[in-house]
Amino acid sequence: MLLWVVGGGFIMSIRLGFPQFTRLGFILKNTIGKSFGEKGEDGKFSGWQAVTGALASTLGAGNIIGTAMAVAFGGPGGVFWLWLSGFFCCVIKFCETTMAMKYRRMGDNGVWEGGPQIYLTKGTGWKWISPVYAVLCIFCLFLAASAQIGSGVDNLVGIGTPRLATTVVLTLLVGLVVIGGMKSLLSVTEKLVPFMSVMYMAGCLVVIAMNVGNLPGALAAVFADAFTGHAAVGGFVGATVTQSIRWGIARGCYSNDAGTGVTTIVHAVADVNHPIQQSMWAVFEVFFDTIIVCSMTCLVVLTSGVWTLKLDPAIMTATAFEQSLGSFGGLLVTIAVVLFTFTTACAQIEFTEAQFIALVGEKARGVARWIMLVLILGGGMVGISKLITYVDFFAGVYVLVNMLGVYWCNGQIVELFKEYFSNPQRWETEKWAPWVKMEKEYAARKGLNK
């Protein structure tokens, strides 16, 4: 699966001229540099609001706990391969978001709807592929959302809260968010995602600053060990180059959800003028998740030296914070994990509902949310360790299905890429013609043009 995603990212990077390098400045300028905090008008959602919903899904336990595993099992060199996978995953997320935007449709409530459950069949012409994806995605997200809440509960139980009460409270809070659908989700994520990200990164910067003397050596080891491996030291048992590559790429891909297609469901609601405009936000999503937040965790683990101790990777980041900031540091990590997993579970429930609707129609709307709430209640009771293996298996299978569709449609992606970048200024005022047509048809259907 990892080769399927990263290899595909490499191929599409060649076809698109490595936009994650050559156009990164333009992308950042026209996303976070231009529209930070922007709200949609008349009940619509801005690109910024949509990307906070996507980041709500990708910023999860993997950024804090999973990323530490890249160092614990792959050594410092694993960080280099995590970065490399992140840059290629930027292109995969760009491509799948482009497809979601191209084939999105106007829902009965006037909100755009899109995602793999739509673009896979429309883009390839294969009637079987979207239903197969939807079924696999449902099974994976059933377990993934439960595992996220399980991780959050595990952390709170670790500071003395009772498991049952904690699980019930978190489930109720998730229910309050998801019961209102996409509008409710984005109204929460546009506030919570910036807050929790800044809080965690600020803590990381303090820890790194307190161990700044170790920073040059840590960075040198990242690049040197990526191609040589690292011998055993302290409680670290050593890592070969193969292990560094495997763990670095794996944690990078799992962290940003590239190849899964699920975050395109929330990207598709954005009110923009051209598909590529939201695809650039998808590049920012991966860049922020993997290159920024995951790197913070890695540098905390490396500069603090906890990676050389014989510790469970699940507590490495918290231990590093506690070494530098005392009990407050441990509490800060616990809060971050709970917030990250909470928002991820909320987003994954919305994604699951979209798959149910694709399979059985509008009658599934609302029902899927209640099913998911019951399941995450169970996930909180059993914890993450009993669920994560199954999550990885189903994720691997439905990634293969989604990537097959994205590969097949690569020519369409290149065409839209060239159309936009031939004259980006044009799309500042002009809306893509197929969307204008759909908006007019919706207005006529609803009698809004009278």
Domain tally, the chain: 1
Report the pLDDT averaged over residues 308-333. 90
Residue 146 or residue 219, greater confidence = 219
Give the total residue count for the chain. Answer: 450
Residue 450 pLDDT grade (very low, low, confident, very high; cuts 50, 70, 90): very low
Measured between alpha carbons, how far is 223 from 277 in angstroms, rounded to an integer?
Answer: 34
Note whether residue 85 is domain-resident. Answer: yes
- How does pLDDT run across 2-22, given as a tens digit for each residue? 778 889 999 999 999 999 999
User: Is the residue at 432 inside a domain?
Assistant: no
Query: Does 22 map to a domain?
Result: no
| 225 pLDDT more than 60 | yes
Q: Is residue 359 part of a domain?
A: yes
Q: Residue 424 above 60 pLDDT?
A: yes
- 169 assigned to some structural domain: yes
Percent of the chain with pLDDT over 90: 59
Please return the burial class of 112, using the count of CB atoms within 10 Å of its CB with bins 0-12, 13-18 and 19+: buried
Whole-number average pLDDT of the chain: 89
Residue 425 in domain? no
| Position 233 in a domain | yes
Average pLDDT over residues 93-116: 94
Where on the phi/psi map is residue 36: left (φ > 0), alpha (ψ -120 to 50), or beta?
beta
Looking at residue 437, its amino acid is K
pLDDT at 410: 95
pLDDT at 364: 79
Q: ∠291-293-297 over CA atoms, to 5°?
A: 110
Could you tell me the pLDDT band of residue 313, with boundaries at 50, 70 and 90? confident
Alpha helices in 327-366 (DSSP H): 327-360
Q: What is the residue range of 382's domain?
A: 45-407
Mean pLDDT calculated for residue range 413-423: 97
3-state secondary structure of 43: coil
Kindly report the CATH number assigned to the domain that includes residue 236.
1.20.1740.10
Lowest mean pLDDT: which of 229-233, 315-319, 413-417? 229-233
Q: Work out the average pLDDT over 408-416.
A: 96
Could you write out the DSSP letters of every residue in 67-99? HHHHHHHH-THHHHHHHHHHHHHHHHHHHHHHH
What tokens appear for 226 in the block?
């990526």
Per-residue pLDDT averaged across 264-268, rounded? 96
- State yes or no: pLDDT of 385 exceeds 60: no
For residue 140, being part of any structural domain is answered with: yes
Dihedral angle over CA of 172, 173, 174, 179, nearest 10? 80
Residue 319 reports pLDDT greater than 80 = yes
Which of 21-30, 301-310, 312-321 ranks highest by mean pLDDT?
Answer: 21-30
Percent of the chain residues topping a pLDDT of 70: 93
Torsion from C-alpha of 70, 406, 417, 293, nearest 10 degrees? -20
pLDDT at position 191 is: 92
Q: Between 46 and 230, name the one with better pLDDT.
A: 46
Give the torsion through C-alpha atoms of 381, 386, 391, 392, to 10 deg.
Answer: 150
Q: CA nearest 442: which of 97, 96, 44?
A: 44
Query: Which residues lie closer than 8 Å to 235 by C-beta, 6 or more apart?
Result: 308, 309, 310, 311
Per-residue pLDDT for 198 more than 70?
Answer: yes
